[in-house]
A and B are shown apart, each in its own frame.
Chain A
Amino acid sequence: MEYVRRVEQSVSLLALLAIWAVGTMIVATDLSLPTPPQVATAFVEAATGSYFWGEVVRSTFRVYLSYVIAAVVAIPLGLLIGRSEIAEDLLFPSLEVLRPIPPIAWFPALTIILFNQENIVRFIIFLAAFFPILLNTIEGVQGIEAEYSQAASSLGASSSQSLRHVVLPGALPSIYTGLVNAMGLAWVSLVAAELLSSTGLGYYLWNAFVSNAYPDVIVAILVIGVLGYVSSALVRWLGARQLPWLQSETV
């Protein structure tokens, strides 16, 4: 059974490759779409130069830096808003005004305020990651049954002890969901922001496109996909490692 499954899964991935190969090499040859061999060649070429890797590191660093800052700001803020009705009333409406604006729509406005392109890209990624983490943290805190907090305080837990031993671990699964979503959205916005700037993989992608180096476009797409996938896997892996530990600590 398991064997059959593995075969079917391989078929699935090979079919994807086959569709690409047949589509570009036989069906739509006049569109000059890059074929798998062309892309492989382009990748080898790019991978042997330092420019490409420089852009990979630059984009990855941008995402991780902004992501970590977003988490460091959004989680405590979410805990506060989720715990305190006053904080919720005072902070949440303002944040809700900003939230529906797509991060990339900030780009022109940020050029006025921040000037520095590096900071603009960072800020856009920060925005993309910030709101999912914030909302899920708030939801996680508010979803904890009041009985747990009551039980903790009747067992003699102080407010900060209750926060540490009940609220944080109780909200953690939801925070984790937010962190996973945020990583995906961070990469989405990175590409969009870099398309409009002059550095990073998003720019590499767009630059290759406008200079008709189509195989390099595909190389960039695939590398961005892999980086996004690995980043999300990393968040999931950390979550899976941390969650049982934090939960068992409270028991």
Chain B
Amino acid sequence: MSTRSTTERIGEWFSGSLPSPTRGVRKLLSLVGFVAVWWLFYQFGVLNFEHFVSPWTTIVEFAGALAGQPLTEGGNTIYLHAAYSAVRVAVGVGIAAILAIPLGLVVGTSQRWESLVYPAFEALRPIPPIAWLPIAIIVLPAVAIGSVSIPLSALFVVFIGAFFPIYTNTIEGARNVESEYRRAAESLGASRTNVFRHIVLPATLPAIVTGLSLGVGLGWITVVAAELVTGGPGIGYIIIQASRLLNNQAVVIGMIGVGALGYASSALVVALGRWLTPWSET
């Protein structure tokens, strides 16, 4: 819910639909101030920042990384790491959506299914996704495609991370479909299947999109955590690997990279939401 509207607001800022000149200047000031504080901390060694990196070298190095420089010596480019993480998130969230949406719709609309399914999943839900990692490593072997070995454990953790937000939001959405719409459709001659297709499904879509948005956010959190532990390639892996190599510059570039990817994917979900719900008023 919050992710969506905030991202939209940001989108409006950058597209220039909102700001008057002064507002634009103030926002620019905010970003300049951010970099300035960083630089001052670095320059004067506040909070050990002198051991950190300067904003200027970060900009230069980030541009270099974007130009295709390997992030660590003899290592891979940022694009390869980003691609690995992005695929994990996309596949993990995709599978989560395919399972969570139908399940959520069934649980949200049928009392019997709710009684049978909901308690079991509620018992599993509070377990943080990362905590599943050891089990995933034991149970799921790495799959080798050609010379590349893909550990399924990281994928599984992403799947768990994305599954529950999508599942709970779908249930919530399906439960809250106002009964008058159902009644109106029934009085117009809609069968049960038609009520589901024409009423329940579209009425639940905004909640599903909210769930997807939260799911993608958690997908990035969990993919980074999983890669920190299970290895790479991947953007989470490069952050910890660079730190082991005492390459602070690469650590920061990895952080910026994962932030940018997270930001881009939530923008993508917003766009998907707009496309799926053209009737929404915002």
Chain A interface (Cβ within 8 Å of chain B)? 4-5, 8-9, 11-13, 15-16, 28, 31-33, 85-86, 89-94, 96-98, 100-109, 111-115, 132, 135-136, 138-139, 177-178, 184-185, 187-192, 195-196, 202, 205-206, 208-209, 214, 217-218, 220-222, 224-226, 228-229, 232
Contacts and interface: CB of A to CB of B under 8 A. Distances in A.
Contact of B115 (A12, A94, A107, A222): A12
Contacts of B118: 9, 12
B255 A101 contact: yes
Interface string B147-183: 0000000000000010000000000000000000000
18 contacts: A9-B119, A13-B123, A31-B139, A33-B139, A89-B23, A94-B31, A100-B258, A100-B263, A100-B266, A104-B228, A113-B51, A114-B47, A178-B2, A188-B128, A192-B221, A195-B130, A196-B229, A206-B229
Contacts of B134: 205-206, 208-209, 214, 217
A177 B1 contact: yes
Interface of B: 1-3, 5-6, 10, 13, 23, 26-27, 29-31, 33-34, 47-49, 51-52, 111-112, 115-120, 123-124, 126-135, 137-139, 161, 218, 220-222, 224-225, 228-229, 236, 239-240, 242-243, 248, 251-252, 254-256, 258-260, 262-263, 266
A13 B31 contact: no
A111 B130 CA distance: 21
Contacts of A217: 134-135
A49 B135 CA distance: 24
A90 B29 contact: yes
Contacts of A136: 1-2
A105 B224 contact: yes
7 pairs of A and B residues whose beta carbons are closest in the complex: A108-B243, A89-B26, A8-B115, A192-B225, A209-B134, A100-B262, A229-B126
B255 A106 contact: yes
**Majority-rule SS of B interface residues:** helix
B26 A86 contact: yes
Contacts of A8: 112, 115-116
Contacts of A177: 1
A105 B254 contact: yes
A109 B120 contact: no
Given A33-B139, A89-B26, A188-B128, A104 B225 contact: yes
Nearest to B34: A94
Contacts of B239: 105, 107-108
Contacts of B236: 104-105
Contact of B260 (A100, A189, A224): A100
Choose among A12, A16, A85, A111 the residue with the greatest number of B CB atoms under 10 Å from its CB.
Answer: A12
A95 to B, nearest CB: 9
B138 A214 contact: yes
A5 B26 contact: no
A15 B120 contact: yes
Contacts of A218: 135
B49 A113 contact: yes
Contacts of B248: 109, 112
Given A89-B27, A96-B10, A108 B240 contact: yes
A138 B135 CA distance: 39
B157 to A, nearest CB: 10
A248 B248 CA distance: 53
A122 to B, nearest CB: 15
B137 to A, nearest CB: 8
Nearest to A232: B126
Choose among B2, B49, B51, B115 the residue with the greatest number of A CB atoms under 10 Å from its CB.
Answer: B2
Contacts of A104: 221, 224-225, 228, 236
Contacts of A85: 23
Contacts of B225: 102, 104, 192, 195
B33 A94 contact: yes
A16 B124 contact: yes
Given A31-B139, A205-B134, A217-B134, A13 B120 contact: yes
Contacts of B259: 97-98, 100-101, 105
